[in-house]
């Protein structure tokens, strides 16, 4: 348990490095004061343009991947192979703990007044490592929804909602399914304001410039 907490803590410190806010500092712009007010890739694209948004994709995904890898190895330190005979794949506990820490750090960053993003890219990076097939299917769902509706938020919400079901059907590992359910709920909860705007028909469409 201690090792999982340590993995999550390191993940949190890494995840707190919210790339949209770091990139924004170079441009002298706090993206939280523009567009949707969210510290994420979509709002960076909306506010600052393509190159900064690309940097956010790379940064927010890399920190998720790094947190998972560090968590994985921390958890394995001193782990006896005979201990690996559990109903759940205990091998991935560190990976999940590190990844979850990074997502929480991204959403509530220590270095930026706890006001961060919605964790979509960081969650996606963690999912790609934990279950690459599920990750690619979710990416497909996201892209199809965005292509059809032009709502990035709806794509994120739909992909998040599908994740626990994919995990349950494809992995049959209670730990993975619990993790999937928790991170999916986090994504949906962080999209509360988007859900209100979607219902009112006032949500920002992808590609439409605002402010
Ligand atoms: O990744 C966040 C996206 O789903 C919505 O972003 O800025 O439109 O709230 P935004």
Closest protein CA for atom 6 of ligand 1: 42
Q: If DSSP codes are grouped into helix, strand and coil, which group holds residue 165?
A: helix
How does DSSP classify residue 31?
G
This complex has an ipTM of 0.94
Could you tell me the distance, in angstroms and rounded to a whole number, from the CA of residue 40 to the centre of ligand 1? Answer: 7
H or E element: which one contains 32? none
- How does pLDDT run across 152-174, given as a tens digit for each residue? 999 999 999 999 999 999 988 89
Ligand 1 proximal residues by C-beta, below 6 Å:
35-36, 38, 40-43, 118, 120, 152-153, 156, 194, 204
pLDDT at 2: 87
Ligand 1: residue of 33, 53, 118 to mutate (most ligand atoms within 8 A of CB) is 118
Using CA atoms, how far residue 4 sits from 95, 172, 210, in Å, is 9, 22, 42
Could you tell me the distance, in angstroms and rounded to a whole number, from the CA of residue 152 to the centre of ligand 1? Answer: 6
Predicted confidence band of residue 211 (pLDDT cuts 50, 70, 90) = very low
Considering only residues 68 and 211, tell me which one the structure prediction assigns the higher pLDDT. Answer: 68
The C-alpha atoms of residue 88 and residue 166 are separated, in whole angstroms, by: 17
Mean pLDDT to the nearest integer, 172-179:
91
Closest protein CA for atom 3 of ligand 1: 153
Q: Which residues of 34-72 are buried (b: 16+ CB within 10 A; e: fewer)?
A: bbbebbbbbbbbbbbeeebbebbbebbbbbbbbbbebbb
Instruction: Decide if pLDDT at 100 tops 90.
Output: yes
């Amino acid at each position: 348990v201690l090792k999982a907490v340590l993995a999550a803590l390191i993940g949190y410190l890494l995840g707190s490095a919210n790339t949209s806010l770091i990139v924004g500092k170079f441009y002298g712009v706090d993206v939280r004061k523009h567009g949707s007010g969210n510290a994420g890739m979509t709002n960076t694209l909306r506010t600052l343009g393509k190159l900064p948004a690309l940097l956010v994709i790379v940064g927010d995904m890399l920190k998720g991947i790094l947190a998972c890898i560090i968590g994985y190895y921390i958890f394995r330190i001193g782990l006896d192979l005979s201990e690996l005979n559990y109903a759940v794949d205990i091998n991935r506990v560190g990976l999940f703990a590190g990844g979850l820490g990074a997502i929480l750090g991204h959403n509530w960053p220590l270095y930026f007044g706890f006001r961060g993003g919605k964790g979509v890219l960081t969650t996606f990076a963690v999912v790609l490592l934990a279950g690459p097939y599920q990750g690619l299917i979710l990416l497909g769902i996201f892209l199809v929804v965005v292509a059809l509706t032009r709502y990035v938020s709806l794509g994120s919400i739909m992909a998040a909602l599908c994740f626990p079901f994919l995990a349950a059907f494809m992995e049959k590992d209670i730990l993975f399914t619990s993790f999937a359910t928790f991170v999916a709920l986090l994504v949906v909860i962080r999209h509360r304001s988007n859900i209100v705007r979607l219902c009112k028909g006032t949500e920002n469409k992808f590609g439409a410039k605002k402010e």
